[in-house]
A and B are shown apart, each in its own frame.
Chain A
Amino acid sequence: MSIKITNELLDAYIDDHLEPTLTAQLEKLIRENPEIHERLSKIQQERDMGEHSPGATWRRERLSCPNREELSSYLLQALDAERLDYIHFHLNQVKCPTCLANIEDLKGNQLIGPKRETMSEFLRKSVRFLPQPDKR
């Protein structure tokens, strides 16, 4: 399959927002084609200099992501048809990674998840990084 390499596509690649198969194809092209590698570096440099593309901002701020309550309602199919259709698109066509992770979590997949004992240990150790409580 041939891929049209737009700057927006390279931008989405930097944010790891592409499907694994497309990522693999693109990585191969980047490795083999100096011109594409150059374009990718230029986009990264622009980001380093603080220039913002619409796509990078949209992804980072999650501007069109449904909130958690809406995702719960989506699972129950308790939204109007247009909104349901859009969320379906956002999950299945855009494949938004954070919303998909939220859906997995909301489905209550107990077989896959953080280990309780590991997180308890982490909590115990991490409190030392908290700001000191105001003693006044």
Chain B
Amino acid sequence: MEVSAFADKVLLGRIRKGDQKAWEEFVGHYQSRLFHLAFKRIKDRDLCDDLVQEAFLGFITNLDKVDEERNYESYLYGILQRRIMDRLRKDYRAPGVENRRDSSGNPAQIEVPDPGTGVSTWYRNEERRKIENDALAEALARIIKEYVNSGDYQKLKVMELLWVKGMENLEVSKLLNMDNRAVASIKHRALEDIKTILHEKNLSPSSFPGL
């Protein structure tokens, strides 16, 4: 465990015991970077302050759901990003569509289901979800670690563009100045490695879209 991750874990332990100083330290530690994350999408300082506070409130009122073995900075960012998306869908439009209006003259909305609020959320056993989620995260972390440890950053770049940015093979090959077949081969190998790891854990790849 890295030093910062260990310090975070200790801090979280103190917050869970109701330590106000620890909470102040935590807020002080993350408030600025959270603000910058919000400000990149919403150029309204007061609104960004509100969203950051909502993210902290979301965190503190769901302390029991925070897994201290995981990077809870990601959890905090996740809460804020959902708040930002909610706000953008309500009040803002991305550049190019911000002036669209509906028949009543109100800003046009896109009906994108709100992440995590569907009725079907309850269909799957929560524990099962966690096992699958952890297994996929571990499999991905393993292949990323292998790329980094072997200095094979080109493969990491390929997979990051394909999966994180959602680009197609041809686009990636052009961007990284590579043969399209080499991109396809890297993707194929990564998929096989992940499926192998999931099989080792007795999980079916069919539960994972995109595999």
Contact = CB atoms under 8 A, between A and B. Distances in A.
A73 interface: no
B40 interface: yes
A94 B160 contact: yes
Interface in A53-107: 53-55, 57-64, 67-69, 82, 85-86, 89-90, 93-94, 96-98, 100-102, 104-105
A115 B157 contact: no
B186 interface: no
A101 B165 contact: no
Contacts of B39: 112
Contacts of A30: 110, 112
B182 interface: no
B118 A130 contact: no
B124 A50 contact: yes
B18 A133 contact: yes
B143 to A, nearest CB: 9
Contact of B208 (A8, A52, A67): A52
A85 B123 contact: no
Given A51-B209, A113-B35, A122-B56, A93 B161 contact: yes
Tell me what chain A mostly uses at the interface: helix, strand, loop, or mixed. helix
B119 to A, nearest CB: 8
- The secondary structure that dominates the B interface is helix
A48 B36 CA distance: 29
B60 A130 contact: yes
A55 B40 contact: no
B112 A4 contact: no
A3 B57 CA distance: 38
Contact of A7 (B61, B78, B141, B210): B210
B93 interface: yes
B115 A44 contact: yes
B153 A123 contact: no
Interface string B28-52: 0001111111011100010011001
Given A64-B144, A101-B34, A131 B164 contact: no
Given A44-B118, A45-B118, 18 more contacts: A8-B163, A11-B210, A15-B81, A18-B166, A23-B94, A24-B96, A44-B115, A47-B116, A48-B117, A82-B153, A86-B156, A97-B40, A105-B32, A105-B33, A115-B45, A126-B53, A130-B15, A131-B15
